[in-house]
Amino acid sequence: MNIAVVGGGVMGVGIATLALVRGLPVVVVDVDDDRLTTARARISAEVRMAQLMGKLADDVAPGALTTTTALADLAEASIVIEATTEDLAVKAKVLEELSAVVRPGTPLVSNTSSIPIDELADFARRPQDVVGTHFMNPPYLIRTVEVIRGARTDGHAMVELERHLVALGQQSVVVRDTPGFVTSRVLHPMINTAARVVQQGTARADEVDALMENCLGHRTGPLRTADLIGIDNLVDSLRVLHERTGDESCRPCDLLLEKVRLGHHGRKSGRGFYEYTN
């Protein structure tokens, strides 16, 4: 298997780490060497964390990591997972360029939290090769992945995606193609509401999370989850959902917008609803 990941941000790093701890080689593509240097450092740290947590089997050596700025280097990939920012124009450009590079029949996988797959497929030369995933972060700890079959996704793409997910140790749940699918359509408005509760002064972030964790069984609390997702990514997803559904619960609240403006994006920036030290 030749796994390629386009985008060295939070999810690109997570998906690459998942492949490496399963002993599989992976190529990560990003736009410049500075971003790739940062991505390599983050992936190295995540692989070490996975080893400490016992997610790397004793008899499996980590896979080989290659990085590049050239999409043309992905011509021999057996699967390409696009994990760029949640922006239609960015994802569309990547899928258009990828479909001119990879062999016909290679799954072009968009790891999106909210943009419909059939909408993205419009930009690929072969819409039948485009399929969606929504990996949860970090993927090496969360072994279920949401899979989205677009209206034009063919059976070959689904079979090949499933073959790769099995090799990655992931269990897939296939859902219908619609804005936000299942996880984001449920989770992201809930996080938005939790942030609005803090904004209104009803409770602090840690109090909201404590109640959600201890009373309602949410594993990490919605606002810690926001910090893990990346508040900037969350806001992008909410905007997509609001534009495509008209649901006012998806309009990003002022507190989330203010945190993005200040650069308080969560764990990756060192501060979100909570503060973090490296």
Active-site residue numbers?
Answer: 134
CA–CA separation, 252 vs 201, rounded Å?
17
Amino acid in position 228: L
d(CA 162, CA 174): 10
Residues in contact with 69: Cβ distance below 8 Å, sequence separation at least 6, in sequence order: 29, 30, 31, 32, 33, 36
